[in-house]
Amino acid sequence: MNRSTDFWILVGTLIAFTVINTLFFAIGSFKINWDSFGIVIAVGLTLAMYSFLYKDNPAFKIAENLYVGVALGYTVIITWYNALKPDIYDPLFVPIFTKATEPEYLVIVPMILGIFMLMRISARLSWLSRWSFAFVVGLGSGLTIPNYIHTFILKQIEPSMRPLFYGGESIYVSVNGILVLVGVVTVLLYFFFSIEHKGPIGVASKIGIYFLMVSFGASFGYTVMGRMSLLIGRMIFLLRDWLGVLH
Amino acid sequence: MLDKLVNIDRRIIFALVAAAVVISLLMSFSLPVPATPPVMGIYDKINDMPPGSHVLIAFDYDPAAKEELQPMAIALLHHCYSRDLTVIGLTLWPGGTGLAEQALTSIARQYNRKSGEDFVFLGYKPGVASLIINMGENLYTAFPADFYGNDTKTLPALQGVESLRDLDYVIDLAAGASIETWIAFGKEKYKFDMGAGCTAVIGPDLYPFLDSDQINGLMAGLKGAAEYEVLVKYPAQAVEGMRPQSVTHALIVVFVIFSNAVFFASGGWRTVRRGPGARR
Amino acid sequence: MPFLRRTVPLAICFVMGIMTAFQYFVPHQLSRDFLELMTRWDKIIAGFAVFIGAYSLFHLHYSRIRFKVAGWGYSIFVFIGAIVTLGFGLYNGGDGFWVDKNEGTMFDWIYIYVQVPAGATIFSILAFFMASAAYRTFRARTVESALLLVAAIIVMLGRVPIGALISEHLPTAADWIMGVPNLAAKRGILLGVSLGAIATSIKIIFGIERQYLGGGD
């Protein structure tokens, strides 16, 4: 396909899109309001994104870049109204100006650390951001150590340490219990690189690889499921909300 | 000839996938969606809670995961509102704020639930682990105002809730690693019951937490949402999606089996066994 | 000023790390009040991080436009999208950004009809590429890849309604794969990753790991 063919495909698609939507407005499927106009925009963006499947093209790139800009704008605005405004502006600045309540001066500390963090973009003052990052990273590390040991180490080892027979359960459950224990130990051995994987350790790490492969297969199956679900959702949108052929 | 079949233009494969989805959506046939034990875990927990109990739903996703998690959120909200439970919504993802608000308010309208009285939307806050711990110590310093700017201390829906310890159930709907964070810094620290819903991609990673009873239930992907829709007798987008989901999975399995059959028939297997440098 | 640039941040990190780690073992009210205040501060600081992300993105696309990098014209749409959204967000339906956010404004309209469909679609494109990859490259070349392939097929069929129609054993087999070998491997990985995270945290607190300081003195 040469460039002129691609150009005419693009023009043809745009004309078809315009004609279909004009028709929907003309026959009353779409009312003339912001919501209907929004659906047309949403469909346009959806189709522009899918045009990438034919080949990379200007429509896809415009939609992609527009999305990045809008997502960034949305994040900034939501952070203002949901975080910075109720946590800094309302408790500190509003009382200073209105004198209705006592300002929460303690908020000044994280506010200054937050402003220091922004200094990372300055060449001369970027060292100030280290104070903020030191606070955040230090706090995070301190929280991680005990909570991870409790949640992800002790609590995860516990089920693999259960007795194989409480009495009453089937042999199937016990065999599965042993398999899980073998799997956990061999996978850990596979990731243990301080000793050479030879002899019994080599055999064990090989078993670990088999467990990992089955688990990656399961993850692949679930990933296919997830991506297909996203596609199905978008197709439902196009067929139901736009074309109206699905109810 | 066989090589040509394997190396066909990928756009033919794209067209087959698209056709499989569209045709199976347009055709009307129903498939059974029996509930699995992990999904039943969440359903039973919510069903057994007395009216007025507080359920926190964390909408930790953004539009990229909307098609999987929004149907799940809607089915859950139908269940919670129909059982007269008080829902507390929040999100750790800024991009999920609008979706969470849309789900909470639109389903609430169907059950005549009022914001601030029967449900609360706390909105978005950054901080993730720190926010969860802050809520675990004091919900009102973590969220001084709800999404609409109302003072949280004055909201009737939050009566009796001082911190995460006072919640009857927490469900995290996640597109990332937030379930692990909620377990480590919330559930294990402040001792509340927890269930989870997630995108299919991260579903397999959460089985260790199901096995250790750190979550009492799990809904993974659109299939999990479909199971919940059937349980609450509100079949909608997820149940509808099970037709194309089944067909596309079958199509991909056919792709894999066919391409492997061609691979073996064309002698690719011998090349691998001998190694790339082996002499023929 | 190496003291202010290096010693002070290392000291802040050490003190914060040690105090929060030990706080876990001290259930006294004072200790809990300390944790509440620190996490509240951390949550507020985290709110500022969004501006660093915004700066990085704007800087990247501004540079592309300025130096006329191939495809620079598309970067203009990043600015259009961001400026329009920021504009409507700050305008807040005419009330301004110093009052609480109004609902049903153009800001919400842009979210519903631009961000949501574009965001949802961009990741759904991967469905096509996964199908293509499954057809072109998913081969049982070795025992390991055969195991991966068989597990994937069983899970793909066993996890959707059609699986039960093909064979009643498929869902059971998929459940077993998820609940036994998958569980074991994922638990092994979880234990390994968690031990790594704990070790890194210890290194950070004691100043052995200093990447968060960035470059320079």
DSSP for B51-73, please give it. Answer: TT-EEEEEEE--GGGHHHHHHHH
Q: Is the pLDDT of residue B277 over 60?
A: no
Rounded to 5 degrees, what are φ and ψ at C108?
-70, -35
**Tokens 């909105």, residue?**
B123
d(CA B83, CA B45): 12
Name the DSSP class of A86: I
Of A116, A144, A161, the domain-final residue: A161
Q: What angle do CA C108, C111, C115 make, to 5 degrees?
A: 175
Average pLDDT over residues B84-113: 97
Tokens standing for B226?
Answer: 């479909």
**Amino acid code (one letter) for A141:** S
Q: Across chain A, what does the average pLDDT equal?
A: 93
- pLDDT for residue C217: 61
Percent of chain B with pLDDT over 90: 88
Axis-axis angle for helices C116-137, A58-79 (nearest 10): 130
Confidence of residue B269 (pLDDT cuts 50, 70, 90): low
B117: confidence class by pLDDT, cuts 50, 70, 90: very high
pLDDT at B2 over 80: no
Task: Say how far apart CA B211 and CA B221 lie, in whole Å.
Answer: 19
Q: Model-level pTM? A: 0.95
Reported as a pLDDT band with limits 50, 70 and 90, residue B280 is very low
Residues A189 and A229 in one domain: yes
Q: What is the pLDDT of residue A173?
A: 85
Is position A99 within any domain?
no
Residue B278 has what pLDDT?
Answer: 44
The CA-atom distances, in angstroms, between B182 and each of A147, A163, C72, C96 are 11, 29, 42, 35
Cβ within 8 Å, pair C40-B62: no
CA nearest B120: which of B93, B92, B85, B96? B85
- Chain C residues within an 8 Å CB radius of A212: 185, 188
Please state, rounded to an integer, the average pLDDT across all residues of chain C: 95
User: How confident is the model over A74-99, as a mean pLDDT?
Assistant: 96
DSSP B196: E
Average pLDDT for C163-186: 95
Q: Between residues A174 and B173, which one has the greater pLDDT?
A: B173
In this predicted model, what pLDDT tens digit does every residue of A209-230 receive, in sequence order?
A: 999 999 999 999 999 999 999 9
pLDDT at residue B268 tops 80: no
Domain final residue pick, A94, A116, A144: A94
User: Closest by alpha carbon to A68, among C114, B123, C112, C104?
Assistant: C114
Rounded to a whole number, what is the distance in Å from the CA of B79 to chain C's nearest CA? 23
Q: What is the pLDDT of residues A100-142, one digit of tens each?
A: 889 999 999 999 999 999 999 998 999 999 999 999 999 999 9
**A27 domain-assigned:** yes
pLDDT on residue B267: 75
Average confidence (pLDDT) over C108-122: 97
Binned at pLDDT 50, 70 and 90, residue C216 comes out as low
Residue whose entry in the numeric block shows the structure tokens 């149940």: B239
Residue B106, chain C, CB below 8 Å: the answer is no
Kindly report the nearest CA distance between residue B132 and chain A, in angstroms: 12
What is the rounded average pLDDT of the residues C184-205? 97
Q: Are residues A186 and A118 in the same domain?
A: no
Segment B157-181, tens digit of pLDDT:
999 999 999 999 999 999 999 999 9
Q: A46, A67, A88, A151: which to substitute to probe chain B, counting the most B Cβ within 10 Å?
A: A151
- Residue A125 is assigned to a structural domain of this protein: yes
Number of other residues whose CB lies within 10 A of the CB of residue B254: 13
Alpha carbon distance A7, A56 (integer Å): 13
Per-residue model confidence as pLDDT tens digits over C2-52 = 899 999 999 999 999 999 999 999 999 999 999 999 999 999 999 999 999
pLDDT of the residue at B95:
97
A152 shares its domain with A178: no
Enumerate helices (H) and strands (E) in chain B, giving the number of each.
13, 6
The shortest C-alpha distance from C90 to chain A (Å) reads 7
In the predicted model, what is the mean pLDDT of residues C83-95?
97
A75 shares its domain with A2? yes
Residues in chain A: 247
Residue A184 and residue A149 share a domain: no
Which residue, chain included where needed, has tokens 């007395």? Answer: B50
Facing residues of B169 across strands?
Answer: B55
Query: For residues B252, B254, B256 and B262, what is the CA-based torsion angle, rounded to 10 degrees?
Result: -150
Domain that holds residue A55: 1-94
Please compute Rg for chain A using Cα positions. 29
> Which single residue is written with the structure tokens 């064990």?
A204
Whether A180 sits inside 8 A of C145 (CB atoms) is: no
Pairing of strands B86-91, B194-198: unpaired
Q: Which residue of B has its CA nearest to A104?
A: B141
Residue in C25, A87, A128 with CA at minimum distance from that of residue B127: A87
Asked whether residue A72 is assigned to any structural domain, the reply reads yes
Smallest Cα–Cα separation from B46: which of B2, B4, B85, B3?
Answer: B85
CA distance C23 to C17: 10
Of the partner residues C89, C143, C202, the one whose CB lies closest to the CB of residue A73 = C89
- Give this complex's ipTM: 0.94
Same domain, A27 and A51: yes
Alpha helices in A154-198 (DSSP H): 155-160, 171-190
**Best to test chain A binding among C114, C135, C149 (most A CBs inside 10 Å):** C114
* Residue A93 in tokens: 């600045």
User: Residue A167: is its pLDDT beyond 90?
Assistant: no
Residue A247 lies in a domain: no
How far apart CA A136 and CA B236 sit, in angstroms, is 43
Look at A166-170, B52-56, B176-180, C44-48 and tell me which has the smallest mean pLDDT.
A166-170
Q: Are residues A53 and A12 in the same domain?
A: yes
**Beta strands B194-198 and B169-174, pairing class:** parallel
| pLDDT of B91 strictly over 90 | yes
pLDDT at B275 over 80: no
The 3-state DSSP composition of chain A as helix, strand, coil percent (nearest 5) reads: 80, 0, 20
Distances A57 to A51, C80, C116 between C-alpha atoms, Å: 7, 19, 21
* Residue A28 domain-assigned (yes or no): yes
Are A155 and A170 contained in the same domain?
Answer: no
* Domains with residue ranges and CATH for chain B: 16-30+243-274 (no CATH), 37-240 (3.40.50.10160)
Backbone dihedral angles phi then psi of residue B232, each to the nearest 5 degrees: -90, 10
Looking at the structure, do residues A155 and A172 belong to the same domain, yes or no? no
As a whole number of angstroms, the distance between CA C56 and CA C177 comes to 43
Closest CA to C107 of C89, C94, C129: C89
Same domain, A133 and A222: no
Cα–chain center distance at C98? 30
Lowest mean pLDDT: which of A162-166, C54-58, C183-187?
A162-166
Closest CA to B201 of B60, B39, B59, B65: B65
Please name the residue that has the structure tokens 């711990």.
B133
Calculate what percentage of chain C has a pLDDT beyond 70: 99
Check CB contact under 8 Å for C121 and A130: no
For residues A209 and C185, the answer to whether their CB atoms sit within 8 Å is no
CA-based nearest residue to B58, from B207, B167, B188, B190: B167
Asked if A14 and A59 sit in the same domain, the reply is: yes
Phi–psi pair at A203, nearest 5 degrees: -65, -45
Asked if B88 and B120 count as a contact pair (C-beta separation under 8 A), the reply is yes
Q: Residues 215..244 of A with a Cβ closer than 8 Å to B: which? A: 215, 218-219, 222-236, 239
Chain C residue with the nearest C-alpha to that of A146 = C21
Indicate yes or no: CB of C118 within 8 angstroms of CB of B63.
Answer: yes
Residue in A closest to C45 by C-alpha = A114
Residue A137 covered by a domain: yes
Query: Is residue B34 a contact partner of residue C87, using CB atoms and an 8 Å limit?
Result: no
Question: Domain ends where: A94, A126, A153?
Answer: A94
Question: Is the Cα torsion angle B231, B237, B239, B240 positive or negative in sign?
Answer: positive
Nearest Cβ partner for A152 among C5, C113, C190: C190
C70-80 pLDDT, tens digit per residue, is: 999 999 999 99
Whether A219 and A142 share a structural domain: no
Q: How many domains does chain A have?
A: 3
Put residue C140 in one of left, alpha, beta given phi > 0 → left and psi -120 to 50 → alpha: beta
Could you give the CA distance from residue B10 to residue B26 in angstroms, rounded to a whole number? 25
